[in-house]
Structure 1
Amino acid sequence: MNQSAAKLLRDLMPYLGLILLIGYFSLSSEFFLNARNFERLATDSATLMLVAFGMTLVILIGEIDLSVSAVVGLLSVILAQIMVAGMAWPVAMVLVILISVGIGTLNGAITVYGQIPSFIVTLGMLAIATGLAFVFTGAISVAILQYDFLDLFYSEQIFGLPIPLVIVALAFVACLLTLNRTRFGRELFAVGANMEAARLSGVPVKQRKVAVFAIMGLLVGLGAILSAARLGNGAPGSSPTLTLDAIAAVIIGGASLFGGWASVLRTLLGALLIAVLNNGMVLMNVNIDAQYIVKGVIILFAVVLERLASGVRT
């Protein structure tokens, strides 16, 4: 495949993939086009979309966060436990978000100031978060019994849209405007493209990288809250494929794993593709192990395609 053909296929992949999947599952399952299924698909994919937006920023600056799934599980456990202890759900939500931003900031600070690759730092955080979640719960899920909280994120709507989708829309617009309309966003592209050149141009590279991990923490915290509300409990290992799905969404969106280019809009399309794929495979009773294989093939294909489109010998 030549470079121009690879570029065209890379650019069309999110659109073509989404159309083909919708067509295939529509023909393969009588339940896919059901209105109730679409509603479930939208709410189930909210956490993935939020995390994918954050992962877009992280990958844009040439880093990675492998701790997402474990941190979401830990935060959902903390949220459920402090609500069971009697804390009002609005206060519990704020506390969980602060903890999540702290975790993200810590990941960034260790990566930047410790000069340790982010995949190692976040792999360590994955182990810590997983262990803490199981220690806190004894591997038993913690039920959330504050029904106002559950109703808010499961039943309530604004302008006819479920609350989770409203949160996703606000996060999408915020990330889109940040990347395309602010100096901060332009500096992130510069950091990802050439960190040393960005530093010589006056960009505070270290601060920007830590800020991106903090933003990732914020979005992960919101995602954990939506995940806990959807499941009605906090449980370790509640989102086992979330990290894989988020990275897949960003790569399908055409982002370079080496940093320097990413698109929140294309990530949204990638996340929709993964959400439809997840939903369709569940409706067709595809084995969970086979689902991993399918996603792995998609990621490898997207990475190779990106390298070919960039003119790099693979």
Structure 2
Amino acid sequence: MSAAQPSPRFPIARLLRDILPYAGLIAVLLFFSLSSDFFFNLRNFERLVTDSATLMLVAFGMTLVILLGEIDLSVGAVVSLLAVILAQIMGAGLPWPLAVLVILLLGTAIGMANGIITVLGDIPSFIVTLGMMAIATGLSFVFTGAISVAILSEPFLVLFYDARFLGLPVPLWITAVAFAVAIFYLTRTVAGRQLYAVGANPAAARLSGVPVRRRKITVFAIMGFLVAAAAILSAARLGSGAPASVPALTLDAIAAVIIGGASLFGGRASLVRTLMGAALIAALNNGMVLMNINIDAQYIVKGVIILVAVVLERLASGARP
């Protein structure tokens, strides 16, 4: 008996999945440019680019994590916690360059802890990172008493939010460098290319000599570093560290990766399409704020987009959604 043939919807679903981040971004830009007089002006465009840097950094890391068939639910809470710690240690007198270094190291350590517990404890990453999310959220409120901690370092605020280099905002350059390094790691290094094998079939990858545990811990550490960089940009943008300062960041980052056509079961992801997906989510957030759309309605819109992307991915892979 011959194997079951793929559904006739497969080519169409695959095409729709592949063009979704590009077509969706174009549609969102056209819709809001026609619906709001303020969307397509230079000032709003600069704000959109600068504000989207936090999301894009986290989405790049989430792409690597999801490529392995894992997930990190703690990113939003950890960004808030690191922003709080950054504001507090600068307020205590630590020079901002040292404070930034401390946050980068701490973020990497948190990511590595997620990876080590997941791998060595053989615990699903969604449970580990759910626990880390609860810990980070609780610590943020304990450290601040639910009160924002202002950042008074003018050089820090200027550099990571207002400054321009070659006419472009510094957060955009940071995002571009992170994207370039992530692309190089994923496509030009042995370790990066091995992530596809680990995500597709960890057992087969292990038998082929791939250090699966090391690769997973490394990816979670990279995730932590990018989360720390995002926390620095978020703190500069808000001018403070506050608990629950980026409540939708985890959802937005996962949405960006899914819209980019990644498989939640691992083995397939694209940083380029994640970039487009993050741009779509950022433009959607910006446009809905300009149109004064209720925050609850914003969640509904994002939820619909995520469901459409997941269904397309399942149909494109030949599986039932």
In structure 2, distance between residues paired with 1:155 and 1:205: 41
- Do residues 140 (structure 1) and 151 (structure 2) align? no
In structure 2, distance between residues paired with 1:9 and 1:20: 14
In structure 1, distance between residues paired with 2:68 and 2:168: 33
Q: Show the counterpart of 1:213.
A: 220
Structure 1 residue 157: Cα displacement:
1.4
Q: Show the counterpart of 1:155.
A: 162
Q: Show the counterpart of 1:119.
A: 126
- Do residues 42 (structure 1) and 29 (structure 2) align? no
In structure 2, distance between residues paired with 1:175 and 1:159: 23
After TM superposition, list the pairs within 5 Å mapping 1:11-26 onto structure 2.
11-26=18-33
- Do residues 239 (structure 1) and 271 (structure 2) align? no
Q: Show the counterpart of 2:177.
A: 170
In structure 1, distance between residues paired with 2:208 and 2:134: 37
Q: Pick from 103, 112, 122 the counterpart of residue 110 of structure 2.
A: 103
In structure 1, distance between residues paired with 2:162 and 2:232: 15
Shift >4 Å, 4+ stretches: none
Structure 1 residue 155: Cα displacement:
2.0
Q: Pick from 27, 30, 35 the counterpart of residue 28 of structure 1.
A: 35
Structure 1 residue 186: Cα displacement:
1.0
Q: 2:157 is aligned with what amino acid?
A: L
Q: Show the counterpart of 1:224.
A: 231
- Tell me how large the CA RMSD over aligned residues is: 0.7
Q: 1:51 is aligned with what amino acid?
A: V
Q: How many residues align?
A: 314
Structure 1 residue 161: Cα displacement:
1.2
- The answer for unaligned runs of 5 or more in structure 1 is none
Sequence identity percentage: 71
CA contact (8 A) 2:68 2:195 kept: yes
Structure 1 residue 313: Cα displacement:
1.7
Q: 2:225 is aligned with what amino acid?
A: L
- The answer for unaligned runs of 5 or more in structure 2 is 1-7
Q: Show the counterpart of 2:272.
A: 265
After TM superposition, list the pairs within 5 Å mapping 1:74-113 onto structure 2.
74-113=81-120
After TM superposition, list the pairs within 5 Å mapping 1:298-313 onto structure 2.
298-313=305-320
Q: TM-score, normalised by structure 1?
A: 0.99
In structure 2, distance between residues paired with 1:11 and 1:146: 44
Q: TM-score, normalised by structure 2?
A: 0.97
In structure 1, distance between residues paired with 2:15 and 2:269: 16
In structure 1, distance between residues paired with 2:41 and 2:286: 12
User: Which deviates more from structure 2 when the two are superposed, residues 147-156 or residues 241-250?
Assistant: 147-156
Q: 1:228 is aligned with what amino acid?
A: A
Q: Show the counterpart of 1:189.
A: 196
In structure 2, distance between residues paired with 1:23 and 1:156: 29
Give the SS at the match of 1:254.
coil
In structure 2, distance between residues paired with 1:75 and 1:51: 14
